[in-house]
Amino acid sequence: MKYLIIGSCIAAAGAVEGIRSIDPEGEITVIDGEQRGCYSRPLISYYLTGRRTSSQLDYRPADFFAQQRVRIIPGRAASIDVICKQVLLQDGTGLEYDRLLLATGASPVIPPIPGITQSWVNTFYTWQDAEEISAQTAAKGTAVVLGSGLIGLKAAEALHHMGMKVVMVEKQSHILPRLLSPRSAAAVGGHLQRHGLKVVTGHEVVAVGNHEVAVDDGSSIAADLLIIAVGTRPNQDLAREAGLQTDRGIIVDCHLRTSDPHIWAAGDVIESRHIVRGTDEVMALLPLAHREGFIAGLNMAGSRTRYPGGIFLNAVHILGMHIITAGDPETTGSILRWQEGERCLELTMQGQNLHRYIAINIPGISGPLTALIERQVKIPESEWFKFLRNPAIANLPAAYWAEVRRWQDDGSLRCG
């Protein structure tokens, strides 16, 4: 069996592990477009500041693919011939496959702003981006970060640690708009500003001049560096041009197979099932990418393992503040809150079901709360009020512990 994987990061590593757990002898080839091996993108901010070496970016050991007897082809895929079952590389090389996985990931969105293609403007998504930013960073200079999502926050933190003055510009009314409520965002924004970062919300950058950023309120910001961090978009051109079904991402079934019976897809490039909403969403999350890759690999090797879907789950540590959110960021319902200094917890309930939580500086309770969202366990609101008097593992509602005992009995206990 010839397995071919386009992409070499998290989903690809999961797929190799899935394939090898069933088929120890099949021929696996990975097309490595970045030519950096399998590394963890969330760590590039620490690499930029020197707190991680290049070897510490590895998601799997440097010899992982060799140990799994995987052939690595440096290069980028140009097209897929689904009739001949062949992938053509940009250099003209053709690679045949019996089973193909698209693990092509995503790329940063570049907004159509005049002047944004100048050399002092960078994205912050890849290892190469970190290297290019490092070469341009001037201590005591000013950096503008466009966008305040997870990538923007980590870029801002890194540049702050490197001695730069940092200004974040977010067009929405508050920072981390897809993760936080206005109230929790105010707590995080205050924390950032107390550490010396400037946060501008409710405004857009409308033009980029000669080391100057123009804002829609008529003001301008002199800057040595501009970082674009306004989101990512699935790399699905190969799939679309090959005639595969796509929408916001590549469309897959519950076995992560595309509309072509010989092609699977996994990771940031796909739409997958949100298990609370019941809708298909692009959920570009590292843990999901590995899980999807592993299940796709199993199924490429002959299994019929179903992928149950996932939920939005994000964690970030920013200037000493630990933020974890999970669930449906667009959910509505009754909101229960607790706060003590810079520790706060916000729960969004629909009836007796927890649909979302935001936990700031309370990392220990994230696993149980995430499990309650995934399982949609019904817990009376009165029990949550008791828990919120002192939110801690030991004080979780009794219904949670009853569910834990049931999960232990049926072997479905969620770990981590």
Q: What is the reported pLDDT for 399?
A: 84
pLDDT of 405? 84
d(CA 359, CA 56): 28
Number of domains into which the chain is organized: 3
Question: In terms of domains, do 239 and 169 share one?
Answer: no
Domain-ending residue, one of 169, 196, 228: 228
One domain for residues 128 and 212: yes
Say if 191 falls within a structural domain: yes
The distance between the two most distant Cα atoms of the chain, rounded to a whole number of Å, is: 65
94 and 239 assigned to the same domain: yes
Q: Is residue 207 part of a domain?
A: yes
Residues 103 and 14 reside in one and the same domain: yes
For position 288, which CATH number holds?
3.50.50.60
For residues 190 and 182, is the Cβ–Cβ distance under 8 A? Answer: no
The pLDDT, as a whole number, for residue 409 is 65
3-state secondary structure of 211: coil
Domain contains 283 = yes
- pLDDT of the residue at 411: 56
Considering the domain architecture, whether residues 77 and 43 belong to the same structural domain is answered as yes
The answer to whether residue 324 is domain-embedded is yes
Q: Are 187 and 344 spatial neighbours (Cβ–Cβ below 8 Å)?
A: yes
184 is a domain residue: yes
pLDDT value at residue 278 = 87
Q: Which whole-number Å values give the CA distances from 40 to 1, 48, 286, 287, 297, in the listed order?
A: 29, 13, 8, 11, 20
Tokens of 37: 């091996």
Domain termination site, one of 183, 213, 228: 228
Which residue has 């960073």 as its token pair?
137
Map residue 132 onto helix, strand or coil. helix
* 223 and 126 together in one domain: yes
What are the backbone angles phi and psi of residue 133, rounded to the nearest 5°? Answer: -65, -40
Nearest to 355 by CA among 375, 373, 337: 373
Going residue by residue through the chain (416 aa), what tens digit of pLDDT does each one get?
999 999 999 999 999 999 999 999 999 999 999 999 999 999 999 999 999 999 999 999 989 999 999 999 999 999 999 999 999 999 999 999 999 999 999 999 999 999 999 999 999 999 999 999 998 887 779 999 999 999 999 999 999 999 999 999 999 999 999 999 999 999 999 999 999 999 999 999 999 999 999 999 999 999 999 999 999 999 999 999 999 999 999 999 999 999 999 999 999 999 999 988 889 999 999 999 999 999 999 999 999 999 999 999 999 999 999 999 999 888 888 999 999 988 999 999 999 999 999 999 998 899 999 999 998 889 988 899 999 999 999 899 888 888 888 877 665 544 43
CB 229 within 8 A of CB 146: yes
Ramachandran assignment for 148, one of left (phi > 0), alpha (psi -120 to 50 degrees), beta (any other): alpha
- Indicate whether 326 and 293 sit together in one domain: no
Do 39 and 100 fall within a single domain?
Answer: yes
Residue 221 shares a structural domain with residue 241: no
CATH code for the domain of 352: 3.30.390.30
Domain span holding position 222? 121-228
Q: Could you tell me if 217 and 241 lie in one domain?
A: no
The values of phi and psi at residue 408, to 5°, are: -65, -40
The amino acid at 271: E
What's the pLDDT score for residue 415?
40
- Asked if residue 214 belongs to a domain, the reply is yes
Write the Ramachandran bin of 92: left for phi over 0, alpha for psi from -120 to 50, otherwise beta: left
157 and 204, same domain (yes or no): yes
In a domain, 261, yes or no: yes
Among residues 207, 228, 249, the one where a domain terminates is 228
Q: Is residue 315 part of a domain?
A: no
Do β-strands 121-123 and 225-228 pair in parallel, antiparallel, or remain unpaired? parallel
The reply to whether 137 and 276 lie within a common domain is: no
